[in-house]
Amino acid sequence: MQKDLKEVAAQVRRDIIREVFCAQSGHPGGSLSCADILTALYFGVMNIDPEDPKAPGRDRLVMSKGHATPALYAVMAERGYFPVEELDSFRKIGSRLQGHPDMETLPGVDMSTGSLGQGISAAVGMALAAKLDDAPYRVYAVLGDGELEEGLVWEAAMAAGHYKLDHLCAVVDNNGLQIDGPNEEVMNVEPIDEKFKAFGWNVLRCSGHDIDQLLRAFAEAKECEGRPTVIIAATVKGKGVSFMENNAGWHGKAPNKEQAEAAEKELGGEQ
């Protein structure tokens, strides 16, 4: 399975570059860093059916770092929610593939997000609703580490711990950078693990670029009872494209034609 999912993740990264280049707009750095996380979720973890995107018993995914839609859309397209060719319409007028996910226009998007901190808050609400309804589905939320600077995140974390939402799993894309530079210089969010533990969460750590580690972490989260789980996934911003890696300048900048071609070559695409 790992080899297959690695191939999927590589294609997802090529799709990300394609989207942002075609739009000449978007957020490649943080999309590339969470590509493996989303690939593991959509292809190896979540109970979902692209043919029935609103099935009541489906697992939910909330993209709390809502600006990373290039990764979300790429994974959804590769999973079969819509044609891969539609990725070329990213951020175009009238497109379903808006800069931030819109649950009203794109089937398969479980929550509209964009304002940081609101996604994890909505995910807590979904998980609480499932608990009250005794529903079987799990709720997953993907956050950026810079997003943890939002107070709303910690209100949500407190509520999740209080209500013992053990079918909620948050994943922190821990790439260490945000638009203005390193987190530790802009607003230090460490220690992330101790903060979540203080709110009663089960805390796991793994590489966010190792599919096997991610799958094991998600399996361990599913076995945890009485506590929500957060997986702190160590990642590299711009992963897979050498000139984008660990470079905050690529947080929200589109590549030109030469850069896009070089990125695609590095990612194993056509030369």
Adjacent-strand bridge partners of 209: none
Identify the residue with better confidence: 269 or 86. Answer: 86
- pLDDT (average), residues 5-18: 97
C-alpha distances (whole Å) from 11 to each of 121, 239, 256 are 31, 13, 20
Output the pLDDT for position 270: 62
- Residue 155: HSE in the Cβ half-sphere, 13 Å Cα cutoff: 9
Average pLDDT in the chain:
96
Q: Which two tokens stand for residue 83?
A: 């044609």
| Per-residue pLDDT tens digits for 136-164 | 999 999 999 999 999 999 999 999 999 99
Flag whether pLDDT at 31 surpasses 50. yes
φ and ψ at residue 231, rounded to 5 degrees? -105, 115
pTM over 0.95: yes
- CATH architecture for segment(s) 2-266: 3-Layer(aba) Sandwich (3.40)
> What does DSSP assign to residue 44?
I
* The Cα angle at residue 78 between residues 76 and 82, in degrees rounded to 5: 60
Output the pLDDT for position 3: 55
190 φψ region: left (φ > 0), alpha (ψ -120 to 50), beta (else): beta
| Per-residue pLDDT tens digits for 167-222 | 999 999 999 999 999 999 999 999 999 999 999 999 999 999 999 999 999 999 99
CB 208 within 8 Å of CB 37:
yes
Output the pLDDT for position 65: 98
- pLDDT (average), residues 23-48: 98
CB 141 within 8 Å of CB 64:
yes
| Per-residue pLDDT tens digits for 56-69 | 999 999 999 999 99
Q: Is the peptide bond before 56 cis (omega within 30 degrees of 0)?
A: no
Output the pLDDT for position 269: 77
φ and ψ at residue 43, rounded to 5 degrees? -105, -15
Per domain, the residue ranges of the chain are: 2-266
Amino acid identity of 73?
Y
Output the pLDDT for position 271: 43
| 3-class SS shares of the chain: helix, strand, coil, % to 5 | 45, 10, 40
Residue 1's pLDDT band (boundaries 50, 70, 90)? very low
- pLDDT (average), residues 69-85: 98
CA distance 265 to 271: 6
- As a whole number of Å, the end-to-end CA separation of the chain is 27
CA distance 115 to 112: 9
Q: Give Cα 18 distance to the centre of its chain.
A: 18
